[in-house]
Structure 1
């Protein structure tokens, strides 16, 4: 896993880079500050029955992450838990991860004991495993117990992301009085991106968008969007839907870390609201 560059390609300026498309369009990253990872060679792309490409790769990607090289968009859909809807008891979250064609590419499962879920609610520490179609864990996400109040800047949220037992990225919350703010770090804990959310994260009757920014916060390169799921689902279940957009040529490690950040955002800003409704 190589160091993720944080400078523009030689000879380019910010004006050479096309702006992010608005209105839910796909984010194209052919000319972003993140050059294409040269560790693989793609010889063809033909989705198989699981949505994964029949592609030959040459390189040292963490097993199961090579498919991310072909993507600039992921959809995350949380499964509706009937027990949670009827009783209000928190269950382990489960998510289906889809490509832009609606094909399932990964499956995410939380592993937290019953007492921790009920005592800490959306603040709970958790472990989430992201599995491929063969039920092999390709990404592991760990969130320790920490504060969620801006009045305690010394104990903010963090998340560790590993693949094959090796760290590939980290998420660290930054103290902010109004807007949610996070740092995306590479495996060497060097900042590569920022995530900034809106001051109001209420998702009632509309999408909530978290901007993915360059490490200096000057350029938008992607988006994490909480999708409006309909009145019944929003009011009576904890099931959420997200879209993640990032540059195509972003390192697979950073793509995986952005995917992991989506789960932290879900727990911090949307799970607690649903629990209050229940």
Structure 2
């Protein structure tokens, strides 16, 4: 497996972080995804970038990914063009490098820039729909998250490497995170939409953090026995949802109204 690209290692500042012990290898499971076989919840915590808070200059996102007892499972760092971050905002192309505690890249999440993408009414065409690809290890495709056509509510297909839709995600009609509506929930359903099997929750982080930064917290829950490749793909869905609905540009709390 390739080492993490230079500049996207583990952050060394702050208090030491307790990491989840790496489980033994499992036949048929991509190296590094053994962690996901042992958990049914993840917390994705975006780090506050001081320069961005003070200047409004959009910096590359970084996230801690923790289990339910606060142990860090992975670290995620965005790779994107500096000019695109300033001028394309949350619509920008990005690659998220997800590493373990040794700095080895385990999962890679990528989204291409699509100038005409975003409107859920037009997402019937793949060229007008946002999507991310998920690889584990990097270079080996394990799944897709594809925006689907809908009237108002966000709707996504979770697909395997063969582009077979296995799960679906449906969001709420009103996506507003605040003290009166602390969590915004995106429900993960069976393919036919009849059975809830998990969820992604955007969690309220407090007024100062929400209004003056774009650092968001997400919780993910899924069945313990869900295929680890689908768990990794669902993690990729978190980043797509974050950029589409909660990522701020230039420190202005837009909530991405263009979407």
TM-score by length of 2: 0.85
Alignment of 1:98-117 (within 5 A): 98-117=66-85
- The residue that corresponds to 1:158 in the other structure is 131
Shift of 1:102: 0.2
CA RMSD of aligned residues (A): 1.5
Cα distance in structure 2, aligned partners of 1:56 and 1:132: 14
- The residue that corresponds to 1:10 in the other structure is none
Alignment coverage as a number of residue pairs? 229
1:194 matches 2:168: yes
Alignment of 1:25-104 (within 5 A): 50-53=19-22, 55-104=23-72
Q: Secondary structure at the match of 2:113?
A: coil
- 8 A contact 1:162–1:168 mirrored in 2: yes
Alignment of 1:134-153 (within 5 A): 134-146=102-114, 147-153=117-123
Shift of 1:151: 4.6
Map Cα deviations across residues 201-255 of structure 1 (whole Å, 9 max, x no partner). Answer: 1111211000000011111000100000000000000100000000000000000
Cα distance in structure 1, aligned partners of 2:21 and 2:164: 31
1:243 matches 2:219: yes
Unpaired segments of 5 or more residues in structure 1? 1-48
- The residue that corresponds to 1:223 in the other structure is 199
Unpaired segments of 5 or more residues in structure 2? 1-17, 255-259
Shift of 1:276: 2.6
Cα distance in structure 2, aligned partners of 1:227 and 1:215: 26
Q: Which runs of 4+ in 1 moved over 4 A?
A: none
